[in-house]
């Protein structure tokens, strides 16, 4: 069964509004979660690392004020796309290590993604 849950699976919003996406680890604690974005027929691009109890770290070129990340607890990370525009329309996917990030080599497990459409 799923070990990482994302909500909502789909969202449509109007340009200029903000959208929040939730990522939950099920039955395990994750001190670190990772947010990716994927455009159609393209690969996953790492956006940022969500850290419980501290600030997220962003990959080069990702606007931290545009994509707000909050890791409120050991099982929940949220990504808020602020003042969304049509170019932000994409598939956003979160992930976590089952070990919570404490193991050196362990696979990432992914949620089923959130399809964001900005009109």
Partner 1 sequence: GESVGLHLPTLSVQEGDNSIINCAYSNSASDYFIWYKQESGKGPQFIIDIRSNMDKRQGQRVTVLLNKTVKHLSLQIAATQPGDSAVYFCAEKGNFNKFYFGSGTKLNVKP
Least CB distance to partner 1 at residue 74 (A)? 16
Backbone angles phi, psi at 112, to 5 degrees: -90, 10
Least CB distance to partner 1 at residue 16 (A)? 27
| Residues whose CB falls within 8 Å of the CB of residue 106, separated by 6 or more in sequence, listed in order | 97, 98, 99
For position 32 contacting partner 1 by CB under 8 A, the verdict is yes
Neighbour-count burial for 5-15, b at 16+ CB within 10 Å, e otherwise:
bbeeeebebee
For position 54 contacting partner 1 by CB under 8 A, the verdict is no
Q: Applying CB under 8 A, which residues contact partner 1?
A: 4, 6, 32, 34, 36, 42-46, 49, 57, 59-60, 93, 95, 97, 101, 104-113, 115
């Amino acid at each position: 069964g799923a070990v990482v849950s994302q909500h909502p699976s789909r969202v449509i919003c109007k340009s200029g509004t903000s959208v929040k996406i939730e990522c939950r680890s099920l039955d395990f604690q994750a001190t670190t979660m990772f947010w990716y974005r994927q455009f159609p027929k393209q690969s996953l691009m790492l956006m940022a690392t969500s850290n419980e109890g501290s600030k997220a770290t962003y990959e080069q070129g990702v606007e931290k004020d545009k994509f707000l990340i909050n890791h409120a607890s050991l099982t929940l990370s949220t990504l808020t796309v602020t003042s969304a525009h049509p170019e932000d329309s994409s598939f956003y996917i979160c992930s976590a290590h089952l070990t919570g990030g404490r193991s050196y080599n362990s696979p990432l497990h992914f949620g089923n993604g959130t399809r964001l459409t900005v009109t």
